[in-house]
Structure 1
């Protein structure tokens, strides 16, 4: 009886560990689709609000046309705001990860700092992902409400 119970426990543990490994492989495959060069082609949000994302001090429209490089192998990347008009020219290194298959987290790595010493960052939902496009959804608090912001990306090349 003890052997039967032990066999059942071992069998259940193997089933759970195999399914967990399979899920992790699927999540990693989705995560690796982000590898490459991307352009932020549009931003959807309630235009009644003035939004300055990611603490850049720049209007949200300054991010349209920005270039993003994502390298999932070492979870690094960068974004570049092209500048012009009232928009600043910015090149910002980032460290990112995808958690639970759809939570895109990143933190800015300011010059002279190391990623492990940066404790704050941004969390967005990864939605509508295909091989050549994806969107990031963020809820930005404003005046006691959340404003839904969707950043739409299009692949421009592989890295």
Structure 2
């Protein structure tokens, strides 16, 4: 009887070790590539996850997150791009040149603002945002921020612009 118990224990522990060493698979998500993000996008809506809207004073270097609602983003496959903010009661219309990239390793969307005479390789400051999804027609990008003792998100919801 001791032998049977010992053999069963060895088999169970072997299975546990093999299971912990097996490669992990994702839940069916496909890594987003640069081509999935390239194109012209409209930022239709900004929502908040884990933070009240009133707590967000400025966003991506602008005086208000509201400046971005309705903005258009042009993202070329080469990494050059721009976003255009619409004119509103609280924000002036403006177009900002950017250099952007997508990291499939950590599923992020990064961009640097480029001003007259800047070369992207010389600009050291920028924004790293979480690329939640992009299916070619819609895209969700989250900006993580610390709120209290937790991480909260400003969620940007894009749709592909009509050609």
Other-structure match for 1:71: 76
Other-structure match for 2:64: 59
* Of 101, 109, 123, the match for 1:104: 109
Counterparts of 1:133 and 1:117 in 2: how far apart (Å)?
32
CA contact (8 A) 1:79 1:93 kept: yes
CA contact (8 A) 2:33 2:102 kept: no
CA contact (8 A) 2:109 2:130 kept: yes
**TM-score normalized with structure 1 length:** 0.74
Other-structure match for 1:15: none
Other-structure match for 2:133: 128
**4+ runs deviating over 6 angstroms:** none
**TM-score normalized with structure 2 length:** 0.72
Deviation at 1:66, TM superposition (A): 0.3
1:84 aligns with 2:96: no
Other-structure match for 1:151: 156
Deviation at 1:36, TM superposition (A): 1.2
* Of 39, 46, 62, the match for 1:43: 46
Q: For residue 116 of structure 1, give the secondary structure of its aligned residue in structure 2.
A: helix
Counterparts of 1:51 and 1:31 in 2: how far apart (Å)?
31
- Give ranges in structure 2 of 5+ residues lacking alignment: 1-29
Q: Which has the greater radius of gyration?
A: 2
CA deviations over 1:88-110 (Å, ceiling 9, x no partner): 21110110111125211110001
CA RMSD of aligned residues (A): 2.0
Deviation at 1:153, TM superposition (A): 0.4
Q: For residue 92 of structure 2, give the secondary structure of its aligned residue in structure 1.
A: strand
- Give ranges in structure 1 of 5+ residues lacking alignment: 1-25
* Of 119, 123, 126, the match for 1:118: 123
Counterparts of 1:50 and 1:126 in 2: how far apart (Å)?
20
CA contact (8 A) 2:75 2:82 kept: yes
CA contact (8 A) 1:36 1:157 kept: no
